[in-house]
Amino acid sequence: MKHPIKHIGLLTSGGDAPGMNAAIRAVACAGKHYDIAVTGIKAGYQGLINGWFTPLEDHALMHNLCRGGTLLKSSRCQAFHTSNGRRQAWENLNQAGIDALIVIGGDGSLTGAALLEEEYAIAVMGIPATIDNDIFGTDACIGYDTAINTVVDAIDKIHDTAHSHTRLFFIEVMGRDSGFIALNAGIAAGCSAILIPEHNQPIDDIIQSFTKRNLDDHPCIVIVAEGHKNGGAAELASITTQQLPDHDIRVTILGHIQRGGSPSCADRVLAGRLGIYAVEQLLSGASGMMAAVQHHQIRSLPLMETVRTKPTFQNDLFRLSNILAM
Ligand code: ADP
């Protein structure tokens, strides 16, 4: 393959997601395969601005394939929001002889990548990686499959105790603006109610739905996305306790365990496919694009358009979840 790109810079940015290491490894493998230098940039855009460049060692790539987090580390970098910060980043890339950049991260990180490409015409590819799965244009983001399996595993365990004591549990999961985790994990774990930011269920309706069941005989597990408009798990439990004082009501906030853990097979394979595709796209002259999976096929979409569009809500699944709720 003939191409002008000789040296790719690679960073992970924003919230870490299981499978980022598999994506880093895939980019490095593609670099080797096509005889292109790949340099790691530590701690996301902060490292790009500070010039924290590092070689990617084979043993570290292999050792971290099965680990969550990111071997390149990640950060949130205020300076990259400013044009001065992005200029410094571009100057550092130039100085290091890097002629293309691959950014692995969520919505914010991909927005930063799109801006850098627009302002400095450097070749850029984005790889969507976020446990929230809230990126338009791709059926799945790296990390999401692992996260929902972590949540289902946790709820299965909570179900054991909820069943033994006939308790009502409110379980809070991640999802500030989107309910992908709550909706999908809630269906898989057989939750009695699924509360997500996209649907503003009034608390009175929710409590009424509890009173329709026999709470004395049946455990009840409610999954709540942290961005639910009528309150998180603790608030909802407190309101419910006032109205149903005789019931044993408990709260579990799953928190950061949702980010960690060994990436699932699906996330590792997706990361491998997206990582190699991103390199191949750069070599074929593409830029300002995001690698995505749609109907099992890998394709690319314009980065700026992607980050400016809200992800499509799974209305069909939400309808089913109401039928499946018991
Ligand atoms: P995620 O990528 O997981 O959505 P953030 O939204 O925190 O996480 O974004 C990660 C980093 O990407 C930010 O700290 C910042 O450096 C960069 N970034 C986010 N949004 C923008 C933006 N609008 N312009 C420039 N850089 C951005």
Distance 111 CA to ligand 1 centre (A): 7
- Three-state helix/strand/coil letters over 230-264: CCCHHHHHHHHHHHCCCCCEEEEECHHHHCCCCCC
295, 188: one domain: no
Residues 14 and 108: beta-carbon distance below 8 Å: yes
Q: In the 8-state DSSP scheme, what is residue 219? A: -
Say whether both 58 and 136 belong to one domain.
Answer: yes
- Count of CB atoms situated within 10 Å of the CB of 316: 8
Cα separation of 141 and 251, whole Å?
29
- Give the model's pLDDT for residue 2: 45
Choose the residue to mutate in 41, 76, 119, 130 for probing ligand 1, maximizing ligand atoms within 8 Å of C-beta: 76
Does a structural domain hold residue 149? Answer: yes
- If asked whether residues 288 and 161 sit together in one domain, one would say no
pLDDT at res. 1: 44
Ligand 1 midpoint to CA 76 (Å): 7
* Ligand 1 centroid distance, CA of 75 (Å): 9
Whether 278 and 137 share a structural domain: yes
Residue 77 lies in a domain: yes
CA 107 – CA 198 distance, rounded (Å): 18
Summarised one tens digit per residue, pLDDT across range 263-284 is 999 999 999 999 999 999 999 9
The four Cα atoms 159, 263, 136, 313 give a dihedral, to 10 degrees, of -10
Question: How many domains is the chain partitioned into structurally?
Answer: 2
CA distance 40 to 56: 6
Give the angle 22-27-28 at the CA atoms, nearest 5°.
95
Integer Cα distance of 320 and 222 in angstroms: 16
d(CA 228, CA 210): 18
Indicate if 191 and 78 belong to the same structural domain: no
- Report residue 296 CA to chain centroid gap: 18
Same domain, 201 and 248: yes
Assigned domain for 123 exists: yes
pLDDT of residue 33: 97
Give a yes or no: residue 1 inside a domain: no
Residue-level pLDDT at 309: 97
| Cα–Cα distance measured from residue 97 to residue 58, given in angstroms and rounded to the nearest whole number | 22
**Is the domain of 54 the same as that of 194?**
no
Q: Which domain holds residue 187?
A: 145-259
Residue 239, domain CATH: 3.40.50.460
Q: What is the pLDDT of residue 175?
A: 95
- Examine the domain organization and report whether 162 and 136 are in the same domain: no
Instruction: Give the end-to-end CA distance of the chain in Å, rounded to a whole number.
Output: 56
Spell out, as residue ranges, where the chain has pLDDT lower than 50.
1-2
Q: What CATH number is attached to the domain comprising 120?
A: 3.40.50.450
Active site (catalytic) residues: 132
